[in-house]
Amino acid sequence: MSVRIGCIVMHCSEFERTVAFWQDALHYVPREPARNGWVVLQDPEGKGPNLSFQARDTRRERRSWLHVDLYADDKDGEVERLVKLGARRYLWRYRPRSDFVVLEDPGGTLFCVVQVSPR
């Protein structure tokens, strides 16, 4: 028996904005139309895990320890693109030569953009 990540679930208080952000950021598509504050986005090529979003009435009080790492061969360019889509830079204490940047999506969920070597 094997196991793999099938879906990462995010709760969000800014449902429509957060879903639109991740759709644009990853070029994912809804598996079905959003219904009752719930939607699953999937990789149109079927290679990546699904991202599910569940609407919440209030914003979380503390940050979650669960987050998404986006791997990019042009970290700085990708960060700028994501900021233009609605992400915000998150204040973080970076160590020297850190290979990542912490951002916050429109719903307040933290995620990282990590520099990787081009393939």
- The region, left, alpha or beta by phi > 0 then psi within -120 to 50, assigned to residue 27 is left
Domains of the chain, CATH where assigned: 7-57+66-115 (3.10.180.10)
The pTM score is 0.78
Q: Cβ distance 110 to 82 under 8 Å?
A: no
Task: Encode the chain (119 residues) as per-residue pLDDT tens digits.
Answer: 555 777 898 988 899 999 999 999 999 999 999 999 999 999 999 999 999 999 988 877 766 667 788 989 899 999 999 999 999 999 989 889 889 999 999 988 889 999 987 65
